[in-house]
Amino acid sequence: MATATFRIWRGERGQGKFQDYTAEVSAGMVVLDAVHQIQAEQAGDLAVRWNCKAGKCGSCSAEINGMPKLMCMTRLNTLPQDRPVTVEPMKAFPHLKDLVTDVSWNYEVKKRIPKFQPRQPDAPDGTWRIAQEDVERVQEFRKCIECYLCQDVCHVLRDHHMHQQFIGPRFLVYAAALEMHPLDVGDRVEDLRKQFGVGLCNITKCCTKVCPEGITITDNAIIPLKERVVDRFFDPLSKLFRTFSNSKR
């Protein structure tokens, strides 16, 4: 049976090194299969997060040959066969052990975003009437599996470490899903500008490229949010209007 070399990052809390392992390769195999094989046979304490193994839960995020990917959806036959496959933890979050990082910051960020606020029900029985096309507009954003690969690749977080000022592509998608939800009447535009740092995104679209769900993050979520901020705070006509009407906004 064919074999391949896997160069896996081993270590704890940022300290560590690559270690090479050889694994048997079979048809259709994905990187996570190799990691499991190595774990069962050669490195029992190898730390890796995973769950569904079908690209639906977003647990097994890592950097494979330098690219942020889900290990369970990366087939070996899509990678060069003539050199080792490198597998490293995500870089935008604090390292815990081997391939596992501390992603708890993401959970804290989500709590800060004002929650869903539905309009009054449309029917006396407490239900709403919604057109399928209005549902579809936000279903794209609701496909997100929270793998945080977009956060990992975003240079505002990864290189500039602006975790305090910027919520990252995942949560801009989340905010967009709420803002464009057909029933939601909440208003997050001021927060997006002042607390969530939507202006810090400079549209390099790296997040869109790595999204395993194929969500058009930049074009469909972030740019429309930027437009809402601009319309509210920087549109010269409405600024003029506000000046004359003594609006305090």
One residue of 7, 22, 91, 182 binding other proteins per CB under 8 A: 182
Task: Report the alpha-carbon distance of residue 249 to residue 247 in Å, rounded.
Answer: 6
Q: How far is the CB of 118 from other proteins (least distance, A)?
A: 6
Q: Which of residues 116-175 bind other proteins (CB under 8 A)?
A: 116, 118, 121, 126-132, 135, 138-139, 142-143, 145-146
Q: Which of residues 54-83 bind other proteins (CB under 8 A)?
A: 54-59, 73, 75
Q: Are 222 and 198 in contact (CB under 8 A)?
A: yes
Which is nearer to other proteins, 28 or 236 (by Cβ)?
A: 28
| Other beta carbons within 10 Å of 100 | 17
Q: Are 87 and 35 in contact (CB under 8 A)?
A: yes
One residue of 53, 91, 163, 232 binding other proteins per CB under 8 A: 53
One residue of 7, 91, 110, 209 binding other proteins per CB under 8 A: 110
List b or e across 160-183, with b for residues whose CB sees 16 or more CB atoms inside 10 angstroms.
eebbeebbbbbbbbbbbbbbbbee
Cα 28 to the chain's mean position, in Å? Answer: 26
Q: Which of residues 204-243 bind other proteins (CB under 8 A)?
A: none
Q: Are 180 and 137 in contact (CB under 8 A)?
A: yes
Footprint on this chain of other proteins (rule: CB under 8 A): 12, 26-30, 33, 39-41, 44-59, 73, 75, 96-98, 100, 102-104, 107, 110-111, 115-116, 118, 121, 126-132, 135, 138-139, 142-143, 145-146, 178, 181-184
